[in-house]
Amino acid sequence: DGGITQSPKYLFRKEGQNVTLSCEQNLNHDAMYWYRQDPGQGLRLIYYSQIVNDFQKGDIAEGYSVSREKKESFPLTVTSAQKNPTAFYLCASSIPAGYSSGANVLTFGAGSRLTVL
């Protein structure tokens, strides 16, 4: 079955450490996204990528980095510069607007919960 796989499901980080969250999709979608979800704040966009080797900052990119070397993969690194990294992180993908009647419907992974100790 096609879908998005995020790993690990749970991750603990000590202060000062960088951690990388994995996101792999087999939906043949061109666009991929990273969101952060905090209680009472909804989903906030961290980074997105429309094509391989290209990505743009979202609303809260500071302290995060991404790469898009393959169409299927969009890993997110939470760096030590992110001051409040404890959150639920969601990866998503979509067919760009030109192929999906403009709705740009997102398919989400199951999420990764990061806790800073």
Partner 1 sequence: QKEVEQDPGPLSVPEGAIVSLNCTYSNSAFQYFMWYRQYSRKGPELLMYTYSSGNKEDGRFTAQVDKSSKYISLFIRDSQPSDSATYLCAMKGTGFQKLVFGTGTRLLVSP
Q: Which positions touch partner 1 (CB under 8 A)?
A: 4, 6, 31, 40-43, 45, 48, 50, 58, 90, 92, 96-98, 101-111, 113
Residues 6 or more apart whose CB falls under 8 angstroms from that of 53 comprise: 68, 69
- Specify whether the CB–CB gap between 115 and 11 falls below 8 A: yes
Distance of CA 28 to the CA centre of its chain: 17
Tell me how far, at minimum, the Cβ of 39 lies from partner 1, in Å.
Answer: 9
Q: Considering the complex, state which of residue 50 and residue 73 has its C-beta at the smaller distance from partner 1.
A: 50
∠ CA 85-90-94, rounded to 5°: 140
Q: Considering the complex, state which of residue 19 and residue 91 has its C-beta at the smaller distance from partner 1.
A: 91
Tell me how far, at minimum, the Cβ of 7 lies from partner 1, in Å.
Answer: 13
| Number of Cβ within a 10 Å radius of residue 78 | 25
Q: Which amino acid is at 79?
A: T
Tell me how far, at minimum, the Cβ of 4 lies from partner 1, in Å.
Answer: 8
Q: Considering the complex, state which of residue 19 and residue 90 has its C-beta at the smaller distance from partner 1.
A: 90
